[in-house]
Structure 1
Amino acid sequence: MAAGRLATVQAVFLSVILVSALLVCKVSCVIQYTGSELLNLRSISHSDLGPSTSLLEEKLRDLNISSHSTPWLEAKKGRRSGTFARFRRHPYRPPLPALLLSNVRSLRHKMDELQLMIQTNKDYSDCSAICLTETWLDPSVPDQAVTLPSFTLHRADRSFKLSRKAKGGGVCIMINERWCTNSTELTHVCSPHLEYLTVKCRPSFLPREFASIILICGYIPPEANANTTIAELANYVSSVENSHPDTAVIILGDFNQTNLSSELPGYHQQVTCPSRGTNMLDHWYTTIQGAYRAFARAPLGRSDHAMLLLIPQHRQKVKSSKSPTKLVRFWYH
């Protein structure tokens, strides 16, 4: 019993000695300076604070080695690549027009949403033209009611006398004035099995290989005779090519199940994504292979067709082809 008490007393005594030693060490480690001593530190050179490195620098200088690190140079930064990045850098000077295609199913009831979309989404407002099918317009609807700011409207409403149909149909093309201010309507056709509108555009900027751009926006009803319709449209496209040989012709619209490639083998389908469910009903044809890249967007309003945004990825001949070289021989006397 006495041995246990002695051990406890010794442990407490050792603990007190250890804590006292720690406090003394902590106090002794604190270095205090007066105000005058701190001011005198200014006059002390860096050589007084540490070993001299002059000998090491002299040796490095003899070996042509700098003791200082090479100053950091800012790396040259490139630009983002891709179809969208190139288009966004020069939205109003594209090699081919950037187009927005949609089957709206009554344009008059979707003008508010279309105008809001143009104001809030720069990709849509920078489009060169907006092509719409099934506008369901008639002469009682004025142009001011369906015209977007900074866009020129060209419309072709369905005619009851020509189509024998009272409602539906109709196509229109809206040209962005920031891309082109010189647009002319060439013709518009309305029949029971085919409707199309043709607009010729001459923008201020255009590649050398094209004199102008011709847009043909069409609509083929589901019940139309495919063979007759395709043959009629192909004949018209051939006449346009003959009258405008140096023009880029773009054919687009809601063609349902018809395919123009059989009658126009020189034209290539640019749309690779479905526009209604799993079906590709909206088509886009040009004579340039891989000229566009298609992006499916949300439908406008309650339309059952997705909007198609096609961004040009065509490379101009001046940029894609190498500069020609010519071998010249010299004879010296």
Structure 2
Amino acid sequence: MSLTPDVTEIIARARADLRMGVPVVLCGDAGAVLVMAAETLDAQRLADLSALGGTPVLAITARRAATLKARAYDGDLARVVLPPDARLPWVLAVADPADDLKTPMKGPLTTQRGGDSGLHRLALALVKSARLLPAAVVQTISDGAGFAARHGLTSVPLDTAAPKLMQTSPLHPVVSARLPLEVSDAGRLHIFRPEDGGEEHYAVEIGQPNRDTPVLARLHSACFTGDLMGSLKCDCGPQLRGALAQMGAEGTGVLLYLNQEGRGIGLANKMRAYSLQDQGFDTVEANHRLGFEDDERDFRIGARILSLMGFSTVRLLTNNPAKITMMRESGIQVTERVPLKLGKNTHNHAYLATKAAKSGHLL
């Protein structure tokens, strides 16, 4: 029946539940598990989970496990066994690196080895997609579908949900309207909405670019602190304004404003990374301590928007070779890399040096 939610809609439900602290059930061929996001877990639900019996684990990424000196037997993740007397502060201390330097000894941590970790991997993918800390409390249960029905919980199937989370959600144009800008009164804003219930993305079109010739284009990831607040910790604000100014001067261009704050980890996690930077870690090290990769963004979104707008070739305003590679792999031809070197100051020189040394930016 068409009224029944499909797997994309089930994932969106599960994502919202986890953000609110509501457990979800994940089901696969190897069994079923009850999952709660560590960040939104409360003491009562942790006690209720413990009352189910069994051996609950805290699933964390290999990046976080490396910081904690925990063995990641599953390669990309570790299943840390919760001690019998584990309480909420213990779970949060393992999941969140905020106090790592104050209390570095959290172990010894015992991690599970062997068995199927597919459901744990799906649990981490879900909490990451919800822009939460990449850590989830996981408890094996029997009769997953029945348990979910009895408790009114969302049940997520592994076989269809896991591949879906690896894909870029299809995008659809919602509306576009004229938007006069300081750099050009011939501006137009296009809104694109993903099918998975995620954040919308925008395209600012300057003038009337010819679809048959390379358009000056910029993939700009949202940066609340830099774009709006004028933060000096990054170069995002100057790059945004500089790209628009260059398009205005040329008379045409397309700036894609992608809602992938903090290199795709969300504003809250980005602020956590900033706090770790204040402790002496660089931007990449901070991301790793949180449990994220260097860069979690998906530039395929930008390629899809360009295609929907009728563009197939671009002159890309960027210092990041990874963007060029992703554009080409996604079917967008990059005929020229146009440098965009703006915004260097005394507060962000270390940040920019890290971008060059560890992320390959051409600065």
TM-score (norm. length: structure 1): 0.23
- Greater gyration radius: 1
Which structure features the higher share of helix residues? 2
- Larger RCO, structures 1/2 (Cα 8 Å, 6+ apart): 2
TM-score (norm. length: structure 2): 0.21
